[in-house]
Each structure stands twice: as C-alpha cells, then as structure tokens.
Structure 1
Amino acid sequence: MAHFHALVLALLVFTGGWCHCRADVGDFTACLQFFYKFWPPKGLSGTPVCQRYYDQYHFASLYSRPRRSPWFSAYLYTTPRGKRPPSSWKFEPQLAYPEADGNMMPFLPGVVDQNVVESQAVEQDYINSSYTRGHLNPSLHHQHHKDRSSTFTLTNVVPQKVGSNDGPWEFLEQAVNKTLSAYCLGEAFIVTGIIPYQKEERWLKNHRVAVPEYLWSAYCCPNYNSSLPAELKETFPTYAAIGRNDRNSTEEIVPVDETTKKQFRGYDVRLMPLATLEMYLRSRFGIDISIFYLQCSGSE
C-alpha cells in the first residue's frame, strides 16, 4: 500500500492531479497524427500507447504487455537540433493504473511501485543484462527538446546489443536523418519495430523482457525533391531496413559482411524496399502486415 501511495503522490506532483478525461493506453485515437493518412499499421496485435509528455503527444507505440516492450513506435521525423538530452528514463503510469494521468513519468529513486514492475519494463531489468536500451523512436530524429526527451521511456525501447545500437543500426538512423533532411519536402512518417525469434523467445536475465532477433524500420515521405541523386532514386517515397540483433542468427534475412569491424560484425543492416520488409514480416509473424496506407502511394 505504501508503494501505491508513493505513486499517487508522484503523479499529483508531476501533473497537478488525476486526469479522467482521456485514456492514452488502449486506443490510438488521440495520436493518429503520427501515422500516414491517420492509418496505424495493420496486422500486429498489442496495446496502443499515445506517448504523452508534459501534456503533449509526441509519438505512438504498440506495446506488448507479455513481452514488456513495444512491437513498434511511430513518429513524425523532424530535422534534429541541439545536443542529445540526458537519459532520464520514464514509464507509462496507465499501464499500471488505468485511471492514472497519461503523461509518462520519470522513475524516482528507491523502490519502484510493484504494479509498475508487473506491467512494464523498469530500469533494473536492463542493469547488468549485457543489453542496451535500444530506442525504436530515436532522439536523433527530432528537433525540439521535449520531443527528444520523450523518447527516453522504457515503453519505447527494446533490449539491443551494443554492437547493433552503437554500430550499423546507429549508422542507419544517421543515414535516414541525412536523406530525409535533404530531400523530403513536408512531413515524413517513420515506423520502427522488432521481429521476435521464430522458435523460442529470448529474455533478459530475469525472464521479464523479451529480446528481439531483428529490428526493422520504414519511412514514408509522400512529397520529395524530384531531382534526387541516382543512388537515391529507389528510396522514395518509401524505403525500409532490417537489422540483426543477434550475431549468431542465420543469414537468410540479413547476410553478414565479414569485412565489418570486429565489434560490429554480425549486426549488419540490410536496406530494402517496403514491400520486401512486409514480405519478411508476413513470413515471420504468419499474418499480413501493412505499415503505411496504400504503401505511402499518396493515392486515395
């Protein structure tokens, strides 16, 4: 009971009271603006989370309660500015208490409320686990400080090997940043998600948070510069990628480049058309998955 009272007190201090006006967990209605044509990806099942920080929506995630991690996060790309914010990690109160305020909350020092522990990942899960907190919606892809700070919530991260997070996957995020900032005109929509292991789940040390075998990402830029360099002609209006999160995975989805630096070897990223990504998702999940409305064609 003391833990519950501590959470109530934290919520009151952070938000000025309870919010009974809208649920930000269980429905994407409040944050459809982060999806192309207000159309969330189809096929995957989970708990929708409208990620709210300081009473503003910043992105959306489809959360898996059994895995205690997201299936995907969706956001609007904006050209980054300034330094990366400090890693102040947060949680989603409404996953633990449906009547709680929808603003994400920072973890406080000391013992974490048990309902929070049971409903989602907490900082302790990642400590001494050999995995980093891998952003699906990265701070790098946002301009404003609050947008960037909002990405540091454990409902937006998955266990990611450092060789991926600090290597090929980071290089992909940087490449997408350069491409969209230079050639995309208007809004750019990005969805980034995970692919689980096919036969047997892998978990962090305490068997609470599931580890993905691959990460994937796709962007949709319906309006872009028509004078693209030749090497970018095939990358608009959509493009996609799959990255390895296990250097021992087989190579039928993403081959391994043996010439890569040793610390990054086995964490390769393969670029591909959107249709190819959806083919691999369909094969692994056993269901049809569509990421963007009409494949970001711009047609009605």
Structure 2
Amino acid sequence: MLIWFFFSLHSFYPAIFFAMKCWLPLLPVLSTLLCLSQGDVGDFSPCLNFFYRYWPPSGLSGTPICQNYTNRYYFATLYSRERRSPWFSAYLYTTPAGKRPKGVWKYEPQLANSNASGVMLPFPIPPKKVDQTVVKSQAVQQDYINSSYTRGHLNPSLHHQNRSERRSTFTLTNVVPQKMDSNYGPWSELESNVNVTLNKYCAGPAYIVTGIIPYRMDRWLKDEHRVAIPEYLWSAYCCPTYSQNLPESLRRTFPTFAAIGRNDPNSTEEMVPVDRTKKKFVGYDVRPMPLTDLEIYLRERYGREIAVFSKQCL
C-alpha cells in the first residue's frame, strides 16, 4: 500500500514528488519506499518535461526510464520487467529533417545493475556475447531474431528532428513485437499523418504518448515466454497551442487526438473493426478516436482508470 501511495503521488503530484526527492539523502527509509520497482533504476523526475504539465499518465505501474543517450535525456518510457517490453513511451514531437539514421540497437545497463550508468549502450557484436544479467533484465536482439515480428517503435524516429534524437529511439526498451503489416502499413501511415498534422497546425509543444494494450491472457514472442506481444497499439497527442485556421476535417483533432491500431488480424473487433474491402493490410486497421474513447478502452482492458494527459490536455 505504501509503495502504491508513493507511486500515485508521483503520478498525480510530480512537483511535490520532485521536492520530496531532494530530501531523500536525509530520509533513507522513505528512499526505500520510493523505489518504484526492483533495483534503484530511477524515476521520471529528471525527464518530466516530456509530459504535459509534467504529469506522467496515471493508472499504470512499472519501471520508469528516462531514456539517456550520450548523456542527454531524449524521452521517457514506462517499462515492464516481467514482460520485457514497454507499457508506453512519452516524448516531445519535433519536425523531422533528413533521412532516417541507421539504427544501432541499444540496451539499458541500469536495468541489469542498479549501480550502472543510466546511459543506453549498443549491444555487443556478435549479439550472443551480451552479458546474462542484461538478458535476464530486458529484451535483447536474440529475442527478435527468427521471430515473425518486427521491432515496433513506440517513440518513432520519424517524429524527431536531429540525428541524436532519432538515434536515441533505437533502444529495445522502446520497442514491442509488432507484426510487419502493422508496422509498415496502417501504423506507419498513422505516424506519417500525425507528423504532417502537427508540423502544419501545432503552434507550440506537442506531447505524444504511445503505448500498448495487452491480450487478456499474455502471448509471448517465443516459447521462452520472455517478451510479451501486444494485441493493440495506441497513441495520443496533446497540442494545447494550435492554429485557429484548422480545416473542418481537423477541428475535432485538437488539442488532442488518439488512435488504436490492431497488431493481430484475428483479434475481436470491439476496439477496432476490420475493413474487409481493403486490398492490402486487412486486419491491421487503425481507428482514430477522441482521447476520452481511448481512455475508456484502456480502462476496460487494464481494469482501472487511466489518464493519458493531465486534465485531458485542456
């Protein structure tokens, strides 16, 4: 109960949480209680700027990671150690420029060793040489090799401007097993459409959170039951300052927009119906919806209230 209390305090009152964290050297008992998961892997306080009004989504628990690449924070991820995959990643949108950089896949050393640096590191070559403490703590490249799933970014390289921002997204704590027809089909189209819309009409910071909806009974990438497969992906943005000259087709998409995409063509259709008139990517549909509808579906699947943005981004 105490751990849950302080996690809730962190989710709902980040300013208070940050102030309390400054007192931790004087309060060793409280410091122990504030550990959100096994090991001292940190919390969101160093990277609250990636959340609207500095409030992380409420209602989900896991290991918070401030994604650090080359000694700079680029986005935030809530990670599930048990599932070896993220619940969500949160980031600030920036207009992309140039070609997508070559991705060098990285891992988080602090998940394997609480005393390790929080700066992500590239996997060794060949991948089989990765330390077993890393293998136990998170997904590794071997998990995805010879599987029928791609590495699906929650925070996509496409939504960032400079090369360092884009390279930082290539960490396995930011990806989930995603079917190729979803990753390179309707979900990719959604990411591109969001890119165009925000670039053209968002006049201030745009906050994006992208996450997953699990199966009611977990399914796994391989027989080892290491990496959980999501049934759906979801994404939402919050753009509190935007152009007043929106076309009619976009008037309902500001200041917020949300969508759920199918990662399983055989899933039921309560959340996202299948358009069987399509000639390609049938069953991998993406359904745009209001933020409130997304939160209803999240509540139904997770069994608790989940708020993506503080006060609905209003």
Amino acid at match of 1:269: V
Q: Look up the match of 2:115.
A: 99
Corresponding position of 1:127: 145
User: What residue in structure 2 maps to residue 277 of structure 1?
Assistant: 294
Instruction: Specify every segment of 5 or more residues in structure 2 that has no aligned partner in the other structure, as ranges.
Output: 1-38
Alignment correspondent of 2:236: 218
- Please give the alpha-carbon distance, in whole angstroms, between the structure 1 residues aligned to 2:193 and 2:212: 19
Partner of 2:275: 257
Provide the residue aligned with 1:286 in structure 2: 303
Distance 2:124 2:207 in 1: 33
Offset from partner CA, 1:97-127 (integer Å, 9 cap, x none): 1111111000011311000000000000000
- Given the alignment, which residue of 221, 230, 233 partners 1:204? 221
Spell out the pairing of 1:1-300 with structure 2 (5 A cutoff).
25-110=41-126, 111-198=129-216, 200-205=217-222, 206-262=224-280, 264-297=281-314
Deviant stretches of 4+, over 6 Å: none
Residue correspondences, number: 274
User: Is the Cα contact below 8 Å between 1:240 and 1:274 reproduced in 2?
Assistant: yes
SS in 2 for 1:137: coil
Q: Is the 8 A contact 2:40 2:114 kept in 1?
A: no
Aligned to 2:13: none
What is the SS of the residue equivalent to 2:155?
coil
Distance 1:188 1:195 in 2: 23
3-state DSSP class of the match of 1:50? strand
Q: Distance in 1 between matches of 2:92 and 2:225?
A: 33
- 1:24, distance to aligned residue in structure 2 (A): 8.6
Counterparts in 2 of 1:257 and 1:29: CA distance versus 1, 3 Å: same
In structure 1, distance between residues paired with 2:227 and 2:279: 29
* CA distance in structure 1 between the aligned counterparts of 2:174 and 2:112, rounded to whole angstroms: 16
TM-score (norm 2): 0.86
Is this contact kept in 2: 1:195–1:215, CA < 8 A?
yes
Distance in 2 (CA, whole Å) between partners of 1:127 and 1:82 is 29
- In structure 2, distance between residues paired with 1:24 and 1:46: 13
Of stretches 135-144 and 251-260 in structure 1, the one that deviates more from structure 2 is 251-260
Deviation at 1:192, TM superposition (A): 0.1
Quote the offset at 1:25 in angstroms: 2.9
Q: Which amino acid aligns with 2:301?
A: R
RMSD: 1.2
Instruction: Quote how far apart the aligned CAs of 1:34 are.
Output: 0.2
Deviation sequence 1:189-213 (CA, Å, 0-9, x none):
0000000001x21101132100000
TM-score, with normalisation over the residues of structure 1? 0.90
How far apart, CA to CA, are the structure 2 residues paired with 1:24 and 1:162?
35
What is the alpha-carbon distance in structure 2 between the residues aligned to residue 116 and residue 93 of structure 1? 7
CA contact (8 A) 1:81 1:143 kept: yes
**Identity in percent:** 70
**Unpaired segments of 5 or more residues in structure 1?**
1-22
The amino acid that maps onto 1:289 is I
Q: Distance in 2 between matches of 1:157 and 1:24?
A: 22
1:259 offset after TM fit, Å?
Answer: 1.7
Q: Secondary structure of 2:305's partner? A: coil
Q: Secondary structure at the match of 1:143?
A: coil
Which residue number corresponds to residue 11 of structure 2?
none
The aligned residue for residue 13 of structure 1 is none
| 1:72-101, Cα deviation, whole Å (9 max, x unpaired) | 000000000011111200000000011111
